[in-house]
Structure 1
Amino acid sequence: MTEETLLVLGCTALTPWGRDQLRRLCEQARRRGLALAGADTADNLRTATPDELARYDTVLPLDVHDADACRAWAAGRRALHPAAVATIRELSVLPAAVIARELGIAGNDPEVVRRVRNKDLCRERLRDAGFPQPRTALCADLADAERFLRENGPGPWVVKPRDGLAGIGVSRVDRAEQLPEALGKFGSPPAAMGALPASPGFLVETFVAGAEYSAEGVLVGGVPHVLALTRKGTGEGFVETSQRVPSGLDEATAGEAAGAVARALTAVGVTRGVFHVEFWVTPDGVVLGELHDRGGGDYIHALVEHTRPGLELYGTLLDDLLGRAPAPVPAASGAARAEFPLAPPGRLRAVHGWDEVRRHPAVLAAHLRVAPGDVIGPARDSYSRPAVLVAGAPDADAVDALVAGLTARIAFDTEPGTTAV
């Protein structure tokens, strides 16, 4: 029998949690007897480590962020005939859907993916389906944004890219005078991201006041299955500083949130994949935020698998794509948390306590993303946080106490007065 092949679109990663996602995806694919083909941009393949590329039987250069390039590749394929295509990367979700459509294999409708990716279109669909949503406008320039603020006061408001990711370019605006600074963020993405595709217009939304959470899960047979609810911790400028499973929501609110997420995914037309859906809990109930037809970052995938011992999140996805019966979902158990310690701005002289924390037996993963001599600025998005640690414990209170104690041992020694360029 010919071995089936999984095409991994975006087979390298910039972040430690992205590399861990790819590791788990590849391992779970191997356990299902799949050959692995990896595709990525020529630049990413050139800078990838040998260990990253060694996971794949075949590696091919392809602009995995360009849907047209991926469609052309699929239409002219020769030796490679993948049975399934998967990605962990936001910018490759649409190209993956286009390849699946061209090859006639399981995947989301590309038009549905475009709708989810463009946040205003997704909000419009949800609003039409009866879900409460913040008021939103697609703006072309400063004048459009100022008009929205005048007509939808008194504020605050949120300004963000139409199809952004990782918190890049997101600002809270309390008065119109702050708009030029907020719009200026669109032109300076993190260097690690490379050149992001240009987005037509930007969004201004009314601010939703409420505690922030997300729902994680996978679709099987077109039906969304919520596997965990995640409590978020945020700092200044919407930068996420922690993720924890379980969420701590009461049973009624958790049920309301999970039900809303499942109905919303169905309403917008998502039928395949791992999902990550953000929401707020407000005095008036659950309000859905952004929908993503890919898994969450920040090691959320590890939190989900740790708190459902034996679960193979990506394996369940692959079983669905290949038409195989998935294994039963294990019961929820225990707690896990990802924490992002922040550092005072300045030139880093040393980090104290990190090795001790990294070796703690309850720590599942730990990565220091800065080194002495680096100039650390304020954390502005997911790519500018200096460190991450992930830990597990028997319950939510225990994991919070554990992580608080571990974080207290870490000290970033920075020389003040030096700023990042």
Structure 2
Amino acid sequence: MSDEMNPELYLFFGTVQRTEFYAPLLEAGLTVGLLRNTDSPLNSEIPQGVTVPAELSFSDGPEAVCDRVRDLGRTHRLALINIDEATVRLCAEVGRRLGLPALSPEAAYNVRSKSRMRELFLARIGAHTTCRTGAVRDRAEALDTAARIGYPVVLKPGNLYGSYFVTLCADPARLCDAYEHLATQLPGFAREHDITDVAAEILVEEFMPGTNHSVDCLAHDGTISTTPVVDVVTGADMGGTDFHHFARITPSSLDEATQTRMRELACQALRALGITVGVAHVEFIHTPQGPRLIEVAGRPGANRPILLRRAFGIDLMRSWAQTLRGARPCALRTITHNASAVVTPYPSTSGTLIDLRGLDALERLESVDRVVVRKQTGDVVTPRQDGARSMLRIEMQAPDRPTLDQDLAEVRRICDRMFVVA
């Protein structure tokens, strides 16, 4: 698209979101820009050091977005960096039209439709690697599918991400209530968050008992590299019926053989979905029968860049950026041996926030590096499963996992009584 003498520009597609995504590139001396999507609610503040060479409403369509990127490509050597699930397919289409490294449109669809993803897992890897599932169109189909699979089941939207509206249902009554809630809320939530790239769908899935884990992968030039495993504590792990991610922790407490199997299965999942370039985030349940695939996202996992840098010295974002410019990435090799966690607690009920108790106690814990509060007293707050974004973020680091776990236990006790909601 541009002359080789032109400067490089690492262009975030639509939004930059968290510091962990762009800071490693700025620290490496790279020029970072934002093709700002004016539809996105995540772009109210542009980070220092990030330029905005162009902006437009992404709802104008692929051709309009291509025109802006093509213009930038006349004066820069571009790398497109997409970290937003809702724009995975649009970025793939822009990459295809302009010849820039990106997911293929087919792979982008495969990661955005959970029903299609399940079909490919079953056909290309095998039924033993994932859960039984069915897309449903009404309450009767939901009940029939659950009866075929067997309770408990998980009800989830097939076009969303981030554990929004994912509910554990132990019996038909709970399934009916959850289905009606999801069917009512899903269209409006998708419109509000501009999630229009795939059709709304509702899935009933087999509940896989076990612990939640993830691996991020970097695909480049016919090879797939994997990061160390990250452990995830969900709402269900704490006795609830939702699957919001309360804590992400690494290094993993799993044995080495299980971690190796997860990393191998992550590579198989990428190949099954046709992912040959870019970063993908793969989630698992470690069941009594071994690791099982939950799903794959065509972007880095949230919080993973900071976790991997702090615990292992792995720079996932810079490695990805190198591949987007055609260079061989630096290996995802462990350099340091620390322990790290990111905790995002949520209130259990909706209402007005009256108080946040225990913030001082959190900040006194030795492993707690940073506490970020995004809500104030008087604000309306909701649980994660009802579509809330993170309102509190706790970043932790320790020399080893046992030390970190000790403080994590105290963090959990504090968070259990933190939110006063009326």
Is TM > 0.5 for Structure 1 vs Structure 2? yes
Task: Measure the CA separation in 2 of the matches of 1:118 and 1:147.
Answer: 22
Give structure 1 stretches of 5+ with no counterpart.
14-18
Question: 1:304-323 deviations in whole A, cap 9, x for unaligned?
Answer: 111122x3211101111111
For 1:99, the equivalent position in structure 2 comes to 94
Aligned to 1:121: 116
Tell me if the contact between 1:149 and 1:155 (Cα under 8 Å) persists in the aligned partners: yes
The counterpart of 2:145, out of the listed 145, 148, 151, is 148
TM-score, normalization by structure 1: 0.86
Offset at 1:243? 0.7
Give 1:337 deviation, angstroms. 0.9
SS in 2 for 1:178: helix
Give the distance between the partners of 1:46 and 1:204, measured in 2 at CA. 31
Aligned residues: 401
For residues 372-400 of structure 1, what are the alpha-carbon distances to aligned partners after superposition, in whole Å with 9 as ceiling and x for unaligned? 22344444267355422011111111111
| Aligned residue number for residue 323 of structure 2 | 320
Helix, strand or coil for the counterpart of 1:327?
coil
Residue of 159, 163, 172 corresponding to 1:163:
159
Q: Shift of the alpha carbon at 1:21?
A: 3.2
The 1:119–1:192 alpha-carbon spacing in structure 2 relative to 1, beyond 3 Å, is closer
Of residues 248, 251, 262 in structure 2, which corresponds to 1:246?
251
The equivalences for 1:248-397 within 5 A come to: 248-297=253-302, 299-309=303-313, 311-331=314-334, 332-343=336-347, 345=349, 347-355=352-360, 357-358=362-363, 362-380=367-385, 383-397=388-402
SS at match of 1:188: helix
Q: Give percent identity, aligned residues only.
A: 24
1:6 aligned to 5, 10, 15, which one? 10
**Does the Cα contact within 8 Å between 1:209 and 1:282 map onto a contact in 2?**
yes
- Look up the match of 2:418: 412
| Distance change (3 Å), C-alpha of 1:85 and 1:359 | farther
Gaps of 5+ in 2: none
Q: TM-score, with normalisation over the residues of structure 2?
A: 0.85
CA displacement 1:197-252 (0-9 Å, x = unmatched): 37343211111111111112322323221112111111121121111011111011
Deviation, structure 1 residue 365: 3.3
Q: Tell me the residue number matched to 1:188.
A: 185
Contact 1:12–1:44 (Cα < 8 Å) also in 2: no
1:69-88 correspondence to structure 2 within 5 Å = 69-74=61-66, 79-81=71-73, 83-88=78-83
CA change 1:119–1:392 in 2 (3 A) is same
Give the 5 Å matches for 1:13-92: 13=17, 19-24=18-23, 26-27=25-26, 31-32=29-30, 34=31, 36-44=32-40, 48-49=44-45, 51-52=46-47, 55-63=50-58, 69-74=61-66, 79-81=71-73, 83-92=78-87
Give the structure 2 partner of residue 213 of structure 1: 213
1:166 Cα deviation from its structure 2 partner: 1.3
**AA aligned opposite 1:315:** R
Secondary structure, counterpart of 2:205 in structure 1 = strand
8 Å contact from structure 1 (residues 192, 383) kept in 2 = no
Aligned mates of 2:387, 2:374 — CA distance in 1: 12
**Residues 161, 186 of structure 1: 8 Å contact kept:** no
CA distance in 2, matches of 1:53, 1:218: 27
Shift of 1:162: 1.5
The residue matched to 2:330 in structure 1 has which SS? coil
Once the two structures are overlaid, the 10-residue window that deviates more, 78-87 or 247-256, is 78-87
SS in 2 for 1:94: helix
Contact in 1 for aligned 2:218/2:225 (Cα 8 Å): yes
SS of residue paired to 1:371: coil
- Give me the whole-angstrom Cα distance separating, in 2, the residues matched to 1:191 and 1:123: 21
